[in-house]
Structure 1
Amino acid sequence: MNLTEIAKVKSKYKEPIGPDKMKKSESVIEVKEEFLDGLYGIEAHEYLQILFYFHKSEGYDLISKRRIGGEKGLFASRSPRRPSGIGITTVELLKREGNKLYVYGLDAIDGTPVVDIKPYASFMDEASMSLQKNNPRYKVEKMIRYQNIDELLLKAGELHGHYCPYLALGVLAGVDALNKMEAADAGMEKLLAVLETNSCFSDGIQFVSGATFGNNALIYRDIGKTAVTFVSREGKNLRYYLSNNDFLEKDYPAAKELFEKVVARREGSRAEEKELKELWQKIAFEIIEEEPAKYFKIEEDIEIDIPDYAPIFEDKYCSQCKEKIMAAKAVEKEEKIYCKSCAQAEYMQLDGSGLIIKNN
């Protein structure tokens, strides 16, 4: 079997280091002139798969220790020490200049021989759709188990709409708790998240844990603390309370000051809003690199009262507007059933101020 070197990697890393760090940098792939025509049309692809040769790796072990603890077989790991010496990474193509491909996310050192380049195609290269159909949280659970916190924060940002320190703290606490409780694949209502705040922190918790109002696994307590308790119905629980409350003032004073101006007082310019967004993103991805104990007081097996499984209520119809309502929320007047709106009754509303009583 013969392998042909088609390109070489140009990287600031001359020796192997942790792949997580290497994948956060840009590299250049210089394609040999005789293969230049093979790059025709490559700019149409956002992501590429790079196959390369671990030219500095020697030997291999069929069983080896993992970086995060425990042991694994060689073919169940990403070890660079392999019988064939072949590595593969999916990278983002930033631009092409002649025979040079500028990429982000390549965990290969300077001088690494490249043996093939292919466009990444999600419909061919992602896990089978049937896995996702059987378990909607299949990908999230894998990210939790393997502690791919960067990816989890990226996905949580899609839900939240932006990156910020408290979203990152929610992701950090969620990943730590679900791994400690071995509950990454907990089913609906088997794992509850009891939240004590409705801040950005809560979206990080919701995304990682899968606990939401809609599936009745998210319990909101209007206490106003940046805290959450993960509760397994099997009896185990973990509470995370943000004890390092002044970390922004201590570690990021400029960002805290900008936040006060842009968000708290609504006095920031567009340029300052953009600056805060960039700072928040930088800080968020720094936070998830830390140990949870830096920010949280973590308590195990505390006393906590949790509700039973959510009951299924019958439906009723409002006598006035004729709209269907949950029976438990109906109001009875003069032997007729009304919704709270038509009955002009009080109701509870959860908004930015917390849980408040509203009058119709």
Structure 2
Amino acid sequence: MEVKKIGEVRSKYKEPVGPDEMKKSKSIIEIKAEYVDGLDQIDDYEYLQIIFYFHKSEGYDLISKRRKGPERGLFTSRSPRRPSPIGITTVELLKREGNKLHVYGLDAIDGTPVLDIKPYASFMDQPSLSLQKKTPRYHINDLIKYQNLHELLLKAGEFHGHYCPYLALGVLAAADALNKLNLKNNEKEGLRAVVETKSCFTDGIQYTAGTTFGNNKLIYQDFDKTAVTFLKSAEPDKNLRYQLQDSDYIKKKYPEAAKLFKKVITKENGSKNDKEKMKEIWQEIAFEIVEADINKYFKIEENVEIELPDGSINQSLK
């Protein structure tokens, strides 16, 4: 069996660091001269799959502890330490310059040998339609199970329309609660969320937990608090409540962001540059939040007393 190196990665990372950190940076893939013609019309694609060789990986363990969660088999992990140390990552193609591909999201260090490049095609690379029909939330459930909150926030942003701190807080709380409640697939139908605010926070809850107004699993109580309680319809007394510890946290830690928010959103007199700057800062804060310890933001309580509207738990769609 022969495997050929078609190029090499140029990155600011000279040694391995956490993949979540590396995926937030730009890299360059330099293609060897004899393979440059193979890049013809690659600009037509927004995303590429990069297959590369973990050249600094040594040895492997068939059973080992992962970064998050209990021990499990090597082939259920994304560890670079493998019998055949090959990695694959989907990246965004920013631009092509001759034999150089400028990409975003590649978790490979400087000097990594590139073995192949393929265009990402959702109709070929996503699980089959039959699986999606059977379990519509299969991808979301996996992201929650393995606490991949970075990607979960990316998907929540598609639902919400933008990235912001309170959307991230909703994602963080819901993902933590679903992990702690450890619901089986057949139990998730009984999950309910009681939110105490109408804000971006609620959209983070709706997307991540799958508890929405439309499926009668989201209950709104106007207490003007960034808080949510998760419970099972069969056992409403056994619940988890998450409340933001400091309602002024964002304002205190990110004064520039708070100032822009007031100008752009509250007073609606921000310039185009103000709007772009706020969007950029808001996004940066959001992704910072989902990577932090949840106890930094939330007071978490178990089995709190909660008053629910009559019929709100067992109400069915009509």
TM-score interval w.r.t. the shorter chain? over 0.9
Is the contact made by 2:233 and 2:313 (CA closer than 8 Å) also made in structure 1?
A: no
Are 1:224 and 2:224 counterparts? yes
Q: In the alignment, what sits opposite 1:26?
A: 26
Aligned positions of 1:211-290 closer than 5 A = 211-235=211-235, 236-290=238-292
Choose which of 309, 315, 320 in structure 1 pairs with 2:314: 309
How many aligned residue pairs are there? 313
Supply the AA of the counterpart residue of 1:310: Q
> Is the contact between residue 49 and residue 117 of structure 2 (CA under 8 Å) also seen in structure 1?
yes
Superposition pairs of residues 1-360 of structure 1, within 5 angstroms = 1-183=1-183, 185=185, 189-235=189-235, 236-306=238-308, 307-311=312-316
CA contact (8 A) 2:68 2:147 kept: no
Contact 2:216 2:317 in 1 (8 A): no
Change (3 A) 1:188 1:181: closer
How far does residue 167 in structure 1 lie from its aligned partner after superposition?
A: 1.1
CA distance in 2, matches of 1:284, 1:36: 39
What runs of 5+ residues in structure 1 fail to find an aligned partner? 314-360
Shift of 1:148: 1.7
Contact map agreement 1:22 1:106 (CA 8 A) in 2:
yes
Residue 265 of structure 1 deviates from its aligned partner by 2.2
CA-CA distance at 1:188 after TM superposition: 6.3
Cα distance in 2 between the residues matched to 1:177 and 1:281: 23
Higher relative contact order (CA 8 A, sep 6+): 2
Paired-residue identity, %: 64
CA deviations on 1:320-344 (whole Å, 9 max, x unpaired) are: xxxxxxxxxxxxxxxxxxxxxxxxx
Per the TM alignment, residue 192 of structure 1 is displaced from its structure 2 partner at its CA by 0.3
Partner of 1:340: none
**CA shift at 1:61, angstroms?**
1.0
Partner AA of 2:296 in structure 1? K
Does the Cα contact within 8 Å between 1:141 and 1:184 map onto a contact in 2? no
Calculate the aligned-residue CA RMSD, in Å: 1.7
**Structure 1 position 176, deviation (Å):** 0.8
Summarize deviations over 1:105-152 as a string: whole Å, max 9, x none.
111111111111111111111112111100111111111112121222
Relative to 1, partners in 2 of residues 1:147 and 1:186: Cα closer, same or farther, differing over 3 Å? farther
Amino acid at match of 1:203: D
Shift of 1:308: 3.8
Q: 1:144, 1:184 within 8 Å by CA — same for their partners in 2?
A: no
Q: What TM-score comes out, normalization by structure 1 length?
A: 0.83
Per-residue CA deviation, residues 167-217 of structure 1 (Å, 9 max, x unaligned), is 111111111111111137465650000011111111111111111112111
Q: For residues 311 and 122 of structure 1, what CA distance do their matches in structure 2 show?
A: 35
Q: CA contact under 8 A between 1:6 and 1:113: conserved in structure 2?
A: yes
How far off is 1:100 after superposition? 0.8
CA contact (8 A) 1:189 1:215 kept: no
Partner amino acid for 2:153? L
